[in-house]
Amino acid sequence: MDIGHNLKKIYDAHKDKPYVGFFSFDHPSLLINDPDLVKCILVKDAHNFLNRVQTADEKADPLTAKAVFALKDAKWKHIRLSMTPIFTTGKLKKMLDLVDSCAKKLTLYLDEKTADGSPLDVKDTMDRYTIDVISSCAFGIESNTFTNPEAEFRVYLRKFVEYTALKSLATVLISFAPNYQSFFKLQILEGCIVGFLRKTVWSTVQYREKNNVDRKDFLDVMMELRKKGQNTDNGKAGVKFDGDDFVAQCYAFLLAGFETSATTLAFALYELSLQPDIQHTLREEIAQTLKEHDQQVTYEGIQKMQYLDMVVSETLRKYPVVSFLERKCMNDYKLPPSPYNDNAKLEGGIGVYIPVYGIHHDPQYYPEPNRFDPERFTEENIRKRPQYTHLPFGAGPRICLGIRFGLMQIKTGLINILSQFEVAPSKGTPVQLKLDPKPFIMAALTGSAVGDIGILLFSLLVAVYLYYVNKFTYWKRRGVMTPKPIPLFGNFLMPMLQKRSPGQILQDVYKAGEGQPYVGFYIFGRPAIVIRDPDIIKHILVKDFNIFADRHASTSKSDTLGAQNLFILNGEPWKYLRMKLSPTFTSGRMKKMFPLVTNCATELVDHLLDNFGEKEPVEVKETTAKYATDVISTCAFGIGSNSLKDPKADFRKFGKKIFHFTWFRTLEILGLFFVPSLMSFLHGRFFSKDATEFLRKAFWDVIDYRESNKIVREDFLNLLIQLKNTGHIEGSETEEKNGLKEDKSSSLFEFSGDNLVAQPAIFFTAGFETNATTMSFTLYELALQPQLQKRLRTEIAEVMNKTNRSPTYEDVMNMKYLGMVVSETLRKYPPLPLLDRICLQDYNVPGSDLIIEKNTPVFIALLGLHRDPEYYPDPEFYDPQRFEEESKRLQKPFTYLPFGDGPHNCIGNVLIYVSL
């Protein structure tokens, strides 16, 4: 559907109202329905609507930008004033001979082509005629398109009206969203056409000046204006034309006189061929007038032909060459009362549109509007209609400058054709035309579906692009600093390309907001926020936890182990599960699990001694991953995975698989933390199907074995068995003491099936990778700084000697320097480099006017916070002294959060520390 029909659709739905709002892409706009208000916009209050919305980018499309129809303010006034005398009656009379000469060539061509009764392509023929007229009147060039179809003028002007996807988009954007047209650097005029026009104009000017040629045509008058800066007919001062300012007005004349006139002629002949009675009446008037003027086409004779004028007017009603008019409101403007608002105001800067095609086809003004009836334009019928319901050339100061020349060209063509020929439809002539949606100027539908599909696809891409461009003003409108987003991707292109991790991206966002309490960013098109200020972080994590109780992370429902674990659950189910599992990780429980950890540590030492010599390098990450896998599998599943002894052990194999980042796996993890809706769409999973089956089988096999043989082991799995069988852990507080009643538990979370398996599954995957990564980073830093390693080894040796190489849980927890080293590793390399929350209700950020809207993702960039020189001077330097007691007391609260804080902090942080 073309623009005119789209605006007509809005007009038809709301024509009982004087005006109606709509959106041009993301710009609010106003459609004017009432003829009286049309008069105000175009005439009475034209000073406030003098400029058009239409704006072209001067660098990308210089001739369109400088043409009189696109100019604004004082420059438009000066150019318009200077050019108006070109189309006086005297000038038009002088040009009529040139136009009539072209029309005579047209009739000769028709005579030749139709001699054998063959049908003729009327639109192509009218194009040739108008090209000859314009090239002759504007440039003094005989293009001779009737004898030379490949004439240079015709080739380039046909290119101008060939509508590609880009040009179609440009014609829409220039009048509805010119800022986007400028952004995309789209052109109405391709570079080759601009070059042709410049060459043609200046070569003709130089030739005329050199040879004193005077043709009394458009170019002569333009040259006179250029030379003298004034028009000799009225003596009023004008504007000096030169360069592209000069060429652009020649282009404007071409645009107004070529395609618009050819289209109107073609539509008029089409309608006359279908209605012989109307054609007969018109031919009689033409014959009589020519007889009165000695068979010559004269200016006075054209003005006398009333029925011809009625036919042309009706053609321009039914097929207005420009289907809408547009203006920009320059200052706030009081609108007349409407059914919705008695005191409406149109803000300055808003685009105003007049639906010419809609008004011309309104049965209120033109009964049976699809019927071609020149009688609508008798003087009596014109008087009966409201003014400003026939606007083919606009009205007021911005009325089409070349209206009189265009009508003279159209009428001269019709006179010459119908004085010698009768037009009739061929077998292929459609009874009802379909209009082409692509051209800016109305035309009948031609072309292929392939082109339409191309335009549709391109337009769809641009629509998506513009949607995101609009989205990316969200934080700017709220006064929040944000790093520049990339269309479609926001600030997340680099993670998609696997060039930077999500943690690094949030660190970049954090750094971009230096000195700011928070920074906005975009997860593709979704606004999100990074909190930088530690005081606000405290509110998010602790003081206002009820508003940020849920994580943003989520997975698909088909991923049962991923969706039902403590890390992902939200709301009351999370609260209930957290309460039930908290006793699992008390100091007392950790003491009981400690021997399991020390056994794994002993196996690690044996593995190193057996497999590596003193100077043989060790792949630290893989070795620590095997150790961590053994620790977590034995504590969480009660299974000795033996990863250190067997590199192909199942637990190690599936642990590797979970953190093996293919492109799709990267997309899944990005979706998990940043675009949860994507997980459902892609059926993404944190645990793959085969990993789910493995963990499920391992879990239930051990439980069945233990329950059958009445085996009790001081590990996490044993506590889960208690929850499965009794609903609570021995020695823990009852639900009543925690504010939850027993009868509510089953509706919140059931300790059965995959709900149960999900808990050791998440502890296994999160625990082994966290331990392995932290250990490998610690050993890496100690390897680079032998003095730190020596001090730590000294502390460890003292404890080992004191305990006969059998340290207790308390001994490990009391190693101060070990604690400082691990803390510094977790500062510089936080295992999870971000904390995520979702805002559950509109939230006024403390100390500011910013409202974080409900459902906005909120992030704390730990990598940015932990490496902020404001809190940790020289942050890239590894220095355990930062966590010496005195330094810790001076540390600003909520600037060190490796395990989070508040009710959502990591429940297993003590186990992780002990295993390290």
* pLDDT tens column, 847-902: 999 999 999 999 999 999 999 999 999 999 999 999 999 999 999 999 999 999 99
For the beta carbon of residue 512, count every other beta carbon within 10 angstroms: 18
What is the model's pLDDT at position 695?
A: 78
pTM of this prediction? 0.59
Q: Of 644-648, 756-760, 840-844, which one has max mean pLDDT?
A: 840-844
Q: How far apart are CA 242 and CA 223, in angstroms?
A: 10
Amino acid 215 reads R
Assess contact for 537 and 860: CB atoms under 8 A.
Answer: yes
As a whole number of angstroms, the distance between CA 899 and CA 909 comes to 7
Residue stretches of the annotated binding site for heme: 906
pLDDT at 244 over 80: yes
Q: Is the pLDDT of residue 183 over 70?
A: no
Q: Helix 152-160 vs helix 191-211: angle between axes, to the nearest 10 degrees?
A: 140
Q: Give 414-466 pLDDT, tens digit per residue.
A: 999 999 999 998 887 877 766 654 444 544 444 444 444 444 454 555 556 66
- The pLDDT, as a whole number, for residue 461 is 56
Q: What integer is the mean pLDDT of 742-754?
A: 66
Whether 153 shows a pLDDT value over 50: the answer reads yes
pLDDT at 492: 85
C-beta neighbour count of 879 within 10 angstroms:
19
Give the pLDDT score at 443.
Answer: 47
Per-residue pLDDT, 434: 65
Give the closest residue to 778 by CA, choosing from 602, 884, 913: 913
Tokens for 883, please give them.
């966590």
Which helix (DSSP H) or strand (DSSP E) does residue 181 occupy?
helix 178-184
What is residue 521's three-state secondary structure?
strand
Percent of the chain with pLDDT over 90: 41
Query: For 701-720, what is each residue's pLDDT tens digit?
Result: 888 888 888 888 777 778 88
Which of 558-562, 818-822, 846-850, 865-869 bottoms out in mean pLDDT, i.e. has the lowest?
558-562
Q: In whole angstroms, what is the distance from residue 334 CA to residue 40 CA?
A: 11
The tokens for 100 are 């009539």
**Binding site listing:** 906
User: Using an 8 Å Cβ cutoff, are 233 and 85 in contact?
Assistant: yes
pLDDT in tens, 32-65: 999 999 999 999 999 999 999 888 888 888 888 8
The position carrying tokens 């398996």 is 757
pLDDT at 275 over 90: yes
User: Which ranges of 752-834 would DSSP assign to H, the alpha helix?
Assistant: 753-784, 786-802, 809-813, 816-828
CA distance 816 to 792: 9
Q: Could you read off the pLDDT of 601-614 as tens digits, one per residue?
A: 888 888 888 777 66
Q: Across 145-159, 160-174, 534-548, 589-603, which has the greatest mean pLDDT?
A: 534-548
pLDDT tens sequence across 341-372? 677 889 999 999 999 999 999 999 999 999 99
Reduced to 3 states, what is the DSSP secondary structure of residue 473? Answer: coil
SS3 sequence of 408-455: HHHHHHHHHHHHHCCCCCCCCCCCCCCECCCCCCCCECCCCHHHHHHH
For helices 403-420 and 306-318, angle between their N-to-C axes, nearest 10 degrees:
110
Question: pLDDT at residue 152 above 60?
Answer: yes
Greatest mean pLDDT range, 76-85, 125-134, 178-187 = 125-134
Chain centroid offset of residue 27 CA: 14
* Residue 750: pLDDT over 90: no
pLDDT classification of 588: cutoffs 50, 70, 90? confident
More confident residue, 471 or 572: 572
Mean pLDDT of 503-511: 94
Residues 789-800 have a mean pLDDT of 94
Give every CB contact of residue 195 below 8 A, 6+ residues apart in sequence. none
Q: What is the pLDDT of residue 469?
A: 63
The stretch 514-535 carries a mean pLDDT of 93
Closest CA to 854 of 836, 835, 833, 838: 838
The residues, ordered by sequence, that sit 6+ positions from 521 with a Cβ below 8 Å of its Cβ are 475, 482, 483, 485, 490, 491, 506, 509, 527, 528, 529, 530
Give 683's Cβ-side CA count (13 Å radius).
3
CA distance 39 to 644: 87
Residue 228 has pLDDT above 90, yes or no: no
User: Any idea what DSSP says for residue 337?
Assistant: P
What whole-number distance in Å separates Cα of residue 96 and Cα of residue 724?
Answer: 100
**Domains along the chain?**
3-423+434-448 (1.10.630.10), 456-551+832-897 (3.30.43.20)
- Map tokens 């369109």 to a residue: 64
Range with the poorest average pLDDT among 498-512, 544-558, 664-678, 833-847: 664-678
Confidence band (pLDDT; 50, 70, 90) for 725? confident
What is the CB neighbour count within 10 angstroms for residue 288?
Answer: 11
Nearest to 137 by CA among 105, 104, 91: 91
- Report the 10 Å Cβ neighbour count for 903: 13
Structure confidence at residue 222 (pLDDT): 82
pLDDT (0 to 100) of residue 610: 79
> Using CA atoms, how far apart are residues 608 and 766, in angstroms rounded to an integer?
25
